[in-house]
Amino acid sequence: MVRAPDGRVVVTTDLLLEGRHFRLDWSSGYDIGRKAAAQNLSDVVAMGADPTGIVVGLGLPADAAVGWLDDLTDGFRDECDLVGASVAGGDITRSELVVISVTALGDLGGRAPVTRSGARPGDVVAITGRLGYAAAGLALLGAGPAGSSGPIEPSEPSELVGLAELVDAHRRPEPPYARGPQAAVLGATAMLDVSDGLLQDLGHVATASGIALLLDPGAFTVPAVMREAARLTGTDPLEWVLSGGDDHALAATFPAGVRLPEGWTVVGRAAEGTGVQVSGMTPARGGWDHFRE
């Protein structure tokens, strides 16, 4: 039983499959538990709600280790603790691969829900949280020696700590939970979490709101560690920032007169038109789509 003082319940669900959303040789059970909970809790706060609880459906191979399962459930619990939510229950079955389904619930606390359809011409586009970190970490893991559980080596030993931060970001995202309800209080007109890439996810806002979103690439900061990872993997780091998923940053639109607090960065504006544009051009919509080759 989960309290719903507001009388309305925000509900979201996500499905994670071994080999598609995580690899057992790259992530621990604890990492996977944290990630599975985080990607659902971030959807709740992206509507301006406070998470209250999750329920978990779990498919496990017959030879799954009890210790690994303990680590997984510890990950669920610790991620929920960050937002004052709890693991309310769930179900378990046998399967050939590890399958995790998480449903998260949230309470709006009397606030209006922030959807994807409220952006208006003249609004500013702002982001909070990390962008491109998880994609860079995934690229480093993928570029490592065959069968390894770590990234490729940097040119200088001192850079290894920074690269580990990127790899950890893939394994365990850090959504800016408190800033979802904060954005609702500030009057956000539209909001979502960036799970499949900023361009693709903002495309959902543009479509739902019937407007264009114009982004300024100069407004995005690419940290030195990401530039090093890009050098090692032969990638443009801005590609990770604009198209990389799994960081679960928040992207929102606000009326132009709203004074945004520290932690939010204005990266563009809403205008008449359609789609998402970067420097006046409409890029191929980067990001993850399960049914696009």
User: What DSSP letter does each residue of 46-74 carry, written as one string?
Assistant: TTTPEEEEEEEEEEE-TT--HHHHHHHHH
| pLDDT > 80? residue 291 | no
Half-sphere exposure of 37 (CA within 13 A, CB side): 30
Lowest mean pLDDT among 43-52, 96-105, 141-150: 141-150
Q: Is 236 annotated as a binding residue?
A: no
Q: Is 90 annotated as a binding residue?
A: yes
Contacts 24+ apart (CB under 8 A), 82-85: 82/41, 82/177, 83/41, 83/45, 83/50, 83/51, 83/177, 84/50, 84/51, 84/52, 85/41, 85/51, 85/52, 85/53, 85/54
| This prediction's pTM | 0.90
What confidence tier does 146 reach under pLDDT thresholds 50, 70, 90?
very low
> Is there a contact between 126 and 266 (Cβ–Cβ < 8 Å)?
yes
> Is there a contact between 111 and 8 (Cβ–Cβ < 8 Å)?
no
Per the prediction, the chain carries an average pLDDT of 91
**For residues 164-180, average pLDDT:** 96
Q: Please list the helix, strand and coil fractions of the chain in percent, rounded to the nearest 5, in that order.
A: 35, 25, 40
Q: Is 247 annotated as a binding residue?
A: no
**For residues 222-239, average pLDDT:** 94
> Is there a contact between 131 and 207 (Cβ–Cβ < 8 Å)?
no
Q: Is 116 annotated as a binding residue?
A: yes
Q: Is 246 annotated as a binding residue?
A: yes
Q: Is 149 annotated as a binding residue?
A: no
More confident residue, 152 or 194: 194
What confidence tier does 81 reach under pLDDT thresholds 50, 70, 90?
very high
Lowest mean pLDDT among 57-61, 145-149, 160-164, 181-185: 145-149
Q: Is 248 annotated as a binding residue?
A: no
CA nearest 210: which of 113, 114, 121? 121
Q: Is 93 annotated as a binding residue?
A: no
CA nearest 5: which of 69, 49, 65, 43? 49
> Is there a contact between 196 and 287 (Cβ–Cβ < 8 Å)?
yes
Half-sphere exposure of 97 (CA within 13 A, CB side): 13
Give the span between the Cα atoms of 177 and 74, in whole angstroms. 19
**For residues 126-147, average pLDDT:** 87
Domains of the chain: 9-107 (3.30.1330.10), 124-278 (3.90.650.10)
| pLDDT > 60? residue 170 | yes
> Is there a contact between 185 and 244 (Cβ–Cβ < 8 Å)?
no
Question: Residue for token digits 């960036």?
Answer: 194
What local confidence, expressed as pLDDT, does residue 4 receive? 85
| pLDDT > 70? residue 121 | yes
Give the span between the Cα atoms of 106 and 49, in whole angstroms. 6
Q: Is 193 annotated as a binding residue?
A: yes
Give the span between the Cα atoms of 114 and 116, in whole angstroms. 7
Give the span between the Cα atoms of 186 and 123, in whole angstroms. 13
Per-residue pLDDT of 11-22, as tens digits, reads: 999 999 999 999
More confident residue, 161 or 90: 90
Give the span between the Cα atoms of 122 and 289, in whole angstroms. 29
What confidence tier does 279 reach under pLDDT thresholds 50, 70, 90?
confident
Q: Is 155 annotated as a binding residue?
A: no
Q: Is 12 annotated as a binding residue?
A: yes
CA dist 194 → 69, 153, 241 (Å): 28, 29, 11
